[in-house]
A = this chain, B = another copy of it.
Amino acid sequence: MTKSPPLFGKISLIGAGLIGSSIAQAARRANLAGHIAAYVPRAETRARAERIGFADSLHDELPPAIENADLVVLATPVSAYAELARAMAPHLKQGAILTDVGSVKSAVIKDVAPLVPKGVHFIPGHPVAGTEQSGPEAGFAELFDGRWCILTPPPDSNAQAVEKLKEFWRRCGSDVEIMDATHHDRVLAITSHVPHLIAYNIVGTAADLETVTQSEVIKYSASGFRDFTRIAASDPTMWRDIFLNNRDAVLEMLGRFNEDLAALQRAVRWGDGDALFNLFTRTRAIRRSIIEAGQDTAEPNFGRQPRDKTKT
């Protein structure tokens, strides 16, 4: 049996963080690229990327990184996209696919689409996968396995290019969904952005108390708080950019959250046990659905290992 040719001749990754390096490793695993190039302007990050060796070539300048690339993937914080797109435009190959991995999509289309040359297929994307860690070392080939990747192609997109990008993500291990960018931003506001915002917020609140010390918060965090700190340890630059670029949807969902929290606060104040019990029963069912959909483990405490006794 002869090995089939790779899906793309050359893939160019703009950025070498958790997502960029995971894409490189997933693409290698599935033989999706003849050559993987990465643009990593910072010398220190480039040295770290080199040590891991996930790309065939690392570049400190854009033109050689994207020259002749069949697929270019923006994988930096979204605030850098516009400048990068402007710098890339003259060097993109005709017929190339330009995509990204940002967690917001309407703002990305507004920023990037006008800068993309005719004959280059711009198909925004968002692999809904990640960990709280960042940097080239955080990446791994299995990150996208069984996770969803959402593509938000503008209405006039080239169908063949969309199909090819779908195939790319499927071979990276993902299920692919096509969605309107505005709808994507609403869905992610409630499933990701607002949860991150309130996690960051409660961790900040806990840190600022005078009546409870920070060391007490840390000692007793296994009672719930520690779960929030994982999310609140996510990359600050990436998350700043998400909130700056999905303002309307985040504020809409946060408005709902606040309304509901006011009602819940009232139930606590007035001792309305039935209201509390009913909500707490309803939310249990959603956990079950997420486990059944294969989007989380059924293991208690996420399957965390009990603390090693030798460490006590």
The interface of chain A, by Cβ under 8 A from chain B, is 103, 128-133, 138, 142-143, 145-148, 150, 173, 175, 177, 183, 186-188, 190-209, 211-212, 214, 216-234, 236-237, 239-240, 243-244, 247, 250-251, 253-254, 256-258, 260-261, 264-265, 267-269, 271, 273, 276-277, 279-284, 286-290, 293-297, 300-309, 311-312
Contacts and interface: CB of A to CB of B under 8 A. Distances in A.
Interface residues of A: mostly helix, strand, loop or mixed?
helix
B308 A146 contact: yes
Nearest to A288: B233
A269 B191 CA distance: 19
B237 A277 contact: yes
Contacts of A129: 222-223
A142 B305 CA distance: 10
A284 B232 contact: yes
A9 to B, nearest CB: 27
A242 B312 CA distance: 29
A233 B287 contact: yes
Contacts of A226: 290, 295-296
B230 A287 contact: yes
19 contacts: A128-B220, A143-B306, A146-B311, A190-B209, A190-B212, A192-B220, A195-B202, A197-B264, A197-B268, A198-B198, A201-B279, A204-B264, A227-B231, A230-B287, A232-B280, A232-B286, A236-B280, A237-B277, A254-B268
A205 B312 contact: no
A295 B222 contact: yes
B307 A147 contact: yes
Contacts of A303: 302-305
Contacts of A142: 306
A293 B288 CA distance: 31
B300 A256 contact: no
A134 B271 CA distance: 24
Given A143-B306, A282-B204, A286-B232, A216 B244 contact: no
A133 B303 CA distance: 12
A236 B284 contact: yes
Contacts of A187: 212, 216-217, 220
